[in-house]
Amino acid sequence: MATVKVVLSLAPKMQWSLHQLDVSNAFLNGDLSEEIYMKLPPGYGELMGVEVSPTVVCRLHKSIYGLKQASRQWFLKFKSTLVNFGFETCHGDHTLFMKEANGHYLVVLVYVDDILIVSTHDEVVVELKSQLSSAFQLRDLGPPKFFLGIEIARNDQGITLNQRKYVLDLLTATGFSDCKPSSIPMEPNQTLSQETGVVLADSKQYRRLIGKLQYLCITRPDITFAVSKLAQFSSAPTDIHLVAVHKILRYLKGSIGQSLFYGTDTNYDLGGFSYADGGTCPDSRRSVTGFAIFIGSSLVSWRSKKHDVVSMSTAEAEYRAMAVATKELKWVGYLLTALPFKASAYLYCDNEAVLHIASNFVFHERTKH
């Protein structure tokens, strides 16, 4: 999803056109290299008017829905088709394909059977659609309005991404359509642990809500920390945790139209902001990393995740957060280079000890742990 947001953030900056395609029955196009057999479907003999032995099976030459390798075979088929058309695969993200011909640039981003085409000229898009139509059964959806559940609105000022309809459906399904809105998604100083509260008798509702909220984090960085915090208790949630989830729903009630905006500014510099808390988790004593990656003023990637190990100091926790943010910065920079753009990258941190460690390796004696 970060790749999708990177591509969409560059479109208004470069005045690229956007087009969306959908492949009908995508998995049926995959070729099978293994010998795979299936039982005859019920009623096949009556339909053909013949008697069929119960031991008769069919050998598959094409993949069908339900096969474990169906999605892989479809992607290999689509990838080989694009490569034959002259596209190159981006090694930073294998679902991103690029082609440059006659001074025009063409980018194809595929997510299962949903295809997003970004181009500098509409004529090359028409040619690509004609080529793909000869290989697959396509539906031309025109300029993207909905892509992977994300509402896309474009005007002269830029592109807006939101999941307003998803939020409305979520509030209706959970019965929070008429609730009192909250101004914050989580209490600032609330301490949650596995020991607080009474374990819920039915935890399926809690896990279902967390799963839906995690999908909403695609365009809502404001709830990412709260959702990732509460997702840690999915194995044995308590009534306190459920109340905290309901607070997020009340916050969504008051911020239904919250969205991401990607403007037409010409700033391509990468900026990353990293932060870590001081091991506030009472269960594991591990710190939480938070970072946000910008291209110019466009927010394209963010994360809130607990560290894998326990940090011995706040300086070490911040240093680990900087390392995680640096990896994300380098990856986004690799995507920009493939697209192709050359941009400077800046990483911001507010911990003096970390800045000293990063600039002077003499301090390694203090950071052996």
Cα angle for residues 117, 120, 126 (degrees, 5° grid): 55
* Bridging pattern class, strands 150-155 and 57-62: unpaired
Domain 265-367 in the same topology as domain 2-28+68-148:
no
What integer pLDDT is reported at residue 52 of this predicted model?
82
Cα–Cα distance measured from residue 102 to residue 20, given in angstroms and rounded to the nearest whole number: 23
Cα–Cα distance measured from residue 218 to residue 30, given in angstroms and rounded to the nearest whole number: 29
- H helices of 232-274, in order, are 239-254
What mean pLDDT, rounded, does the chain reach? 89
Residue 325 has pLDDT above 80, yes or no: yes
**Structure letter (DSSP) for residue 257:** T
Residue 369 has pLDDT above 60, yes or no: no
Cα–Cα distance measured from residue 76 to residue 313, given in angstroms and rounded to the nearest whole number: 47
Distances (CA, A) of 255 to 81, 185, 246, 289: 43, 10, 14, 25
Q: What is the pLDDT of residues 159-194, one digit of tens each?
A: 999 999 999 999 999 999 888 999 999 988 888 888
| Token code pair at residue 174 | 């959970």
Q: What is the pLDDT of residues 278-311, one digit of tens each?
A: 777 888 888 899 999 999 999 999 999 888 888 8
CA count, 13 A, side-chain hemisphere, 273:
9
Q: What is the pLDDT of residues 34-90, one digit of tens each?
A: 899 988 888 887 777 788 888 888 899 899 998 998 999 999 999 999 999 999 998
- Phi/psi of residue 184, each to 5°? -135, 150
357 residue type, one letter: I
Q: What is the pLDDT of residues 96-146, one digit of tens each?
A: 999 987 788 899 999 988 999 999 888 889 999 999 999 999 999 989 998
- SS3 of 296, please? coil
Average pLDDT over residues 202-228: 93
Average pLDDT over residues 306-325: 88
Q: Which CATH number fits domain 2-28+68-148: 3.30.1490, 3.30.70, 1.25.40, 3.40.50?
A: 3.30.70
Cα–Cα distance measured from residue 189 to residue 349, given in angstroms and rounded to the nearest whole number: 23
Distances (CA, A) of 104 to 16, 23, 75, 208: 11, 25, 25, 45
Distances (CA, A) of 254 to 159, 167, 184: 23, 11, 9
Q: What is the pLDDT of residues 259-274, one digit of tens each?
A: 999 999 888 889 999 9
Question: Residues 2, 301: contact at Cβ < 8 Å?
Answer: yes
pLDDT class for 365, splitting at 50, 70, 90?
A: low
Number of C-beta neighbours around residue 314 at 10 A: 16
CATH (residue range 265-367) = 3.30.420.10
What integer pLDDT is reported at residue 195 of this predicted model?
86
Distances (CA, A) of 221 to 285, 326, 327: 24, 19, 19
Q: Where are the domains of the chain?
A: 2-28+68-148, 162-254, 265-367
Sign for the CA dihedral angle at 325, 329, 335, 338 comes to negative
What integer pLDDT is reported at residue 355 of this predicted model?
79
- H helices of 20-69, in order, are 44-48
Question: Residues 323, 272: contact at Cβ < 8 Å?
Answer: no
Cα–Cα distance measured from residue 354 to residue 367, given in angstroms and rounded to the nearest whole number: 10
Cα–Cα distance measured from residue 222 to residue 299, given in angstroms and rounded to the nearest whole number: 12
pLDDT class for 366, splitting at 50, 70, 90?
A: low
